[in-house]
Each structure stands twice: as C-alpha cells, then as structure tokens.
Amino acid sequence: MVKPRQMMKKHQNKDHHMFQYVCYENRISPSHLPDDQPIGNIDSIPFMIFLPTVQKQETLAEQLTLLVCQQWTKYVPALSWFKEHVPAQIQHKHMAGVKKKTNKVS
C-alpha cells in the first residue's frame, strides 16, 4: 500500500498486488499410482497386513536407536566424540531420488 503525502483526486492510495508463481518438478513421481480407482478393496484386506512384522519392528528399533544416538552426540557434550561413529542419515530405497536437485520449471 503506497500512501501519498497529500491526498488529492489524482493522488490516491495505490495498492500494488505482486504475485510470484514458482513451479517445481516432482523428484519422486507418484505417476505409477492410479487416480481413477482405488488400489484395493478395504473389506477384502486382512487386518494383519497393517501390523508390522518382526523384521520391520527390528528395523524400527535400529532406526530409533540411531536417531537417539544422533541427538545424544549433538546435545550431550560428553558424547560428542561419538559423532564420527554414528551415521548421519538413515538409508532407504528412495535415497537416490531424494538426493537429486529439484528442478525449477519456468
């Protein structure tokens, strides 16, 4: 909003609207998922599929241990020496797609 010193008929308040539109490409594309129909029927899926397996529980415990170790090395000065032995990131199957630079569409 621009306000003139002397308000006159020719010098009124000016309201400038500026917009910036920015578009980015998807690094991890969801195009393999269908948009027109559901993947499955909720009534036919067994309840046990939602519970984690023993292997997934062990993986979760390992990842939580790693996250706790990262926080300890960051905030507890006596454990800062351990930082060089703790991995900086949890490895997963989408690492290659996430590491790519996001392209700006003009």
- pLDDT (tens digit per residue) in 32-58: 878 888 878 888 888 888 899 999 999
User: Tokens 């594309």 correspond to what residue?
Assistant: 29
pTM of the predicted model as reported, rounded to 2 decimal places: 0.56
Q: What is the pLDDT along the chain (106 residues), one digit of tens a residue?
A: 677 777 777 777 787 777 777 788 777 777 787 888 887 888 888 888 889 999 999 999 999 999 999 999 999 999 999 999 999 988 888 788 788 888 888 6
H/E stretch holding 24: strand 23-24
Going from the C-alpha of 11 to that of each of 3, 60, 84, the distances in angstroms are 9, 66, 65
